[in-house]
Amino acid sequence: MPLKSALRWLFLSADPKLARMLRYWGATVLVYAVCLGLLLAQVDNGTAERERSLLLVKMASLGLVGCFVLVRASLALGLGPSQLAMLQGVFGISLNVAGYAVFGPVRGASMLVLLVVIVFCTFALRPRHTLLLCAIALVSLGATMAAMALGDPLRYPPRVEVMHFALAAVGMISVTVLTGEMSKLRLRLKQQKEDLEQALARIRTLATIDELTLLANRRHMNELLVAEERREHADGHAACIALLDLDHFKSVNDRHGHAAGDAVLRAFADAAASALREGDTLARWGGEEFLLLLPETSLEHAQVVLRRIAARVGAAQLAGFDASLRITFSAGVTQRRTDEAFAGTISRADKALYSAKATGRDRIYPA
Ligand SMILES: Nc1nc2c(ncn2[C@@H]2O[C@H](COP(=O)(O)OP(=O)(O)OP(=O)(O)O)[C@@H](O)[C@H]2O)c(=O)[nH]1
């Protein structure tokens, strides 16, 4: 594998979460490189301090490679961003606390970097986990300060250490509280975004579906017809349009009530939809009238489909109604002519429907 694609494979990812974690890792490397570079620049060659600093650099490099492996393998290992942030946070704290013991006169810098570590981790951690990280940092830093003040009071005067600890505690607690508020805000925004997406999906559904029958509504069918008009212009195959109207539906309402009429409409819609192939659409055109769009279909085949619908509708079980209630429909069907607007095709289907009604109903009339 050429070097460039190997690097791409290592440092880039199609998974947005992983890509973000890799970017954070890159930023961490940069921060450590700058801090450790500055540390090394201020210690003299050949001194014990230089040796300890180099050891710290090795620890940091090893830890960063370990973090990279964990991030890169996180999907396979099932590690989420928060677990990775916690691990990297603990590593960062250990490194900085060790740095505090090594840095001598410039040790104050490691307290600043500790703050950076905590702020970085907040992006992936819940507030209570950030609090835990802050506690780990304070306890380990306090213990290191005490140990250094006792063991090397000349370089780490106890009074200065107490002051450092107090400053570190105030800084870290403030940062933790503030970042905790920020992450609560972030979680709230995330939740609101999810709620909005759900609401939008529901609105989209409501805008395209007829609430009673759950078929496409008239507005959606009009959109489909416009799309179909464009598509047909491109490839030249004609669609068929059928208008279906339930027979003597008024008497169903009159004899059984409006709720029963609604149940009949639903039963008709379910039965008719079950007879359609994918790509065909039945929409509620209004009241007890339905429009069927059959793309790329001959007039003969459209009639086969309508007969199949009639058979399914005839066999549909109408729970709660007396056996004498049969649902039938009349239909007018026609094929769209070249360059004809669908409004014209629908009008011809409507005339055919009128003929189907006029000649006795329960029939399919081609035009
Ligand atoms: N229950 C119910 N009835 C509806 C709905 N929409 C329209 N209707 C009723 O459907 C009936 C349609 O009656 P008509 O237009 O006279 O047609 P029909 O009785 O089916 O007679 P033909 O079409 O000539 O066979 C009316 O009584 C409308 O009130 C609906 O959503 N629910």
Q: What is the pLDDT of residues 340-349, one digit of tens each?
A: 999 999 999 9
Compute, in angstroms, the gap from residue 136 CA to the centroid of ligand 1: 74
What integer pLDDT is reported at residue 80 of this predicted model?
84
Is the pLDDT score of 271 beyond 90?
yes
More confident residue, 356 or 235: 356
Q: What predicted TM-score, i.e. pTM, was given to this entire model?
A: 0.61
286 DSSP β-pair partners: 289
Exposure of 55 in the CB half-sphere (CA atoms within 13 A): 11
pLDDT in tens, 190-239: 999 999 999 999 999 889 999 999 999 999 999 999 999 888 666 667 99
Q: What type of residue is 49?
A: E
ipTM: 0.94
Pocket of ligand 1 contains residue 265 by CB under 6 Å: yes
Nearest residue to 327 via CA among 360, 358, 283, 362: 362
- For the chain, domains (ranges, CATH) are 3-202 (no CATH), 218-366 (3.30.70.270)
CA-nearest residue, atom 1 of ligand 1: 261
| Pairing of the two strands 281-286 and 240-246 | unpaired
Nearest residue to 247 via CA among 297, 185, 190, 313: 313
CB-based contacts of 363: which residues, under 8 Å, 6+ apart?
Answer: 330, 331, 356
CA-nearest residue, atom 31 of ligand 1: 287
Q: Tell me which of 210, 215, 250 to substitute to probe ligand 1's pocket, judged by most ligand atoms within 8 Å of the beta carbon.
A: 250
Least confident of 87-96, 145-154, 229-238, 284-293: 229-238
Compute, in angstroms, the gap from residue 249 CA to the centroid of ligand 1: 5
Work out the number of other CB atoms within 10 angstroms of the CB of residue 205. 11
CA-nearest residue, atom 16 of ligand 1: 250
Q: Which atom of ligand 1 is nearest to the CA of 249?
A: 20
Is the Cβ–Cβ distance between 32 and 64 less than 8 Å? yes
Compute, in angstroms, the gap from residue 287 CA to the centroid of ligand 1: 6
Q: 1 is written with which tokens?
A: 């594998």
Q: Which atom of ligand 1 is nearest to the CA of 330?
A: 25
Positions annotated as catalytic residues are 288
Q: Which atom of ligand 1 is nearest to the CA of 212?
A: 31
Residue 199 to residues 190, 195, 196, 208, 217, Cα–Cα distance (Å)? 14, 6, 5, 14, 19
E strand or H helix at 229, and its extent? Answer: helix 218-235
**What DSSP character marks residue 321?**
S
Estimate to the nearest angstrom the gap between the alpha carbon of 205 and the chain centroid.
Answer: 18
Nearest residue to 266 via CA among 343, 312, 211, 202: 211
CA-nearest residue, atom 15 of ligand 1: 250
